[in-house]
Amino acid sequence: MKNIKVKLAGRSYPIYIGAGAFDIALADFAKLASERRRVFCIADPAVLKAHPQKAERLGKVTEIIAVPGGEKTKSVAMFGRLCSELAGKRADRKSAITAFGGGVVGDLAGFVSASYMRGVNFYQIPTTLLAMVDSSVGGKTGVNIAEGKNLVGAFHQPRAVYSDTPFLKSLPKRQFAAGMAEVVKCGILGDAVLFKRLSKFGGGMGFDSPELEWAIARACSLKAKIVAADELESSPEGGRALLNLGHTFGHAIERCAGYGKYLHGEAVSIGTVMAAVLSRRLGLLDDSSVSEIAGVLKGAGLPVSLRKPIPAGDLIDAMRSDKKSVGGALRFVTILSIGSTRTEKVSENTVRRAIADFFKL
Ligand SMILES: NC(=O)c1ccc[n+]([C@@H]2O[C@H](COP(=O)([O-])OP(=O)(O)OC[C@H]3O[C@@H](n4cnc5c(N)ncnc54)[C@H](O)[C@@H]3O)[C@@H](O)[C@H]2O)c1
């Protein structure tokens, strides 16, 4: 079991990683109950069904509210329904909310926690690899609107995160691989030791790999360090924006291919290879590093090329309208070497050439 601290300006919180994290959650919630504080658990029914014994134990110390799984659940309508349900159940300011599920339930429950009674304590029990290494860390919460994903939300840091890795046993392989994309990304962006270890494995890991807990902890530590230094993503260069490695291209791929065609992690995997190719075109990265990056992602069961080509112009238009783009400029996280990255503006011409390079890989 590993315990990482996210050190914020005002306070810090723990992330427990490994078998046994769930027991710590139950003990913490039981303690809250003993102080007459109610804990509401916003849960993904797929996880309740896949882990009935754990769900039963959770039901003894929390009041479970199941919401349908899937991205559609991250909506303003569901947010409103949950707030009304909490009010109907007479949840008060001392009540707490825990998420029990993947990133969808985590983002939604987090936003409800940030808003209900102007903010109640929030906990996370992430059950997907993506949620364990990415969405449960850092305090970003929110819902989607028709105009775009995650356009409405708030920063609301959890009190604790309990990443109980045995939950991953029931996670479909494709979802597991999508989470690995964020682990590999962390290695490339700031942890060469993590990347080297993944490379030694050829990228592949399963829910029962002895190194998995270590890899999740390395990825979380890196994200925790970056978040601690730039909690609200206000740093003009570097900072939290570094976590977007592969995401400028990745978001454009998701948008151009049509949402749902690629899982987010799959688009990030392809986007990371594109970012590596762009870095090579900028004279920062050599051929062998580009191949190594693509090799590790492929070894993790992730796509490194597009199933169907997308015209460069379409990708560039999508990148200009990304919510993270400022004034339509094309900004990227570029790779100086494995484990070292920076944010920079890149001309449209260079991006076009890099996309052409990528199609020739
Ligand atoms: N807040 C952040 O910083 C942040 C960062 C990255 C992604 N996100 C958000 O996270 C969401 C994606 O998260 P996700 O990939 O976890 O998706 P998800 O929550 O939809 O989970 C993926 C699928 O796995 C199922 N599932 C979850 N746990 C399971 C388990 N243990 N066993 C079997 N099935 C299980 C779910 O029912 C779902 O079908 C997106 O909405 C994205 O915007 C947020």
Distance 178 CA to ligand 1 centre (A): 10
Whole-model pTM: value is: 0.96
Q: If pLDDT is split at 50, 70 and 90, which confidence band does 340 have?
A: very high
Strand partners, 90: none
CA angle 69, 70, 75 (to 5 degrees): 100
Active site residue 140: yes
Mutation to probe ligand 1, out of 6, 44, 132, 255 (largest number of atoms < 8 A from CB): 44
Distance of CA 104 to the CA centre of its chain: 10
Distance 280 CA to ligand 1 centre (A): 32
Whole-number pLDDT of residue 262: 97
Determine the atom of ligand 1 nearest the C-alpha atom of 140: 1
- Quick: pLDDT tens for 130-155: 999 999 999 999 999 998 889 999 99
Alpha helices in 118-202 (DSSP H): 129-130, 173-190, 192-200
What mean pLDDT comes out for the span 294-311? 96
Strands 140-145, 96-101: parallel, antiparallel or unpaired by DSSP? unpaired
Distance 331 CA to ligand 1 centre (A): 27
Active site residue 233: yes
Q: What domains does the chain contain, in order, with CATH numbers? A: 2-170 (3.40.50.1970), 173-359 (1.20.1090.10)
Q: If pLDDT is split at 50, 70 and 90, which confidence band does 32 have?
A: very high
What mean pLDDT comes out for the span 96-104? 98
Whole-number pLDDT of residue 327: 72
Determine the atom of ligand 1 nearest the C-alpha atom of 138: 3
Give the relative orientation of helices 312-320 and 348-359 as an angle to the nearest 10 degrees. Answer: 130
**Of 206-210, 244-248, 337-341, 354-358, minimum mean pLDDT range:** 206-210
- For the Cβ of 221 lying below 6 angstroms from any atom of ligand 1, the answer is no
- For the Cβ of 140 lying below 6 angstroms from any atom of ligand 1, the answer is yes
For the chain, the average pLDDT equals 95
Whole-number pLDDT of residue 2: 95
What mean pLDDT comes out for the span 237-253? 95
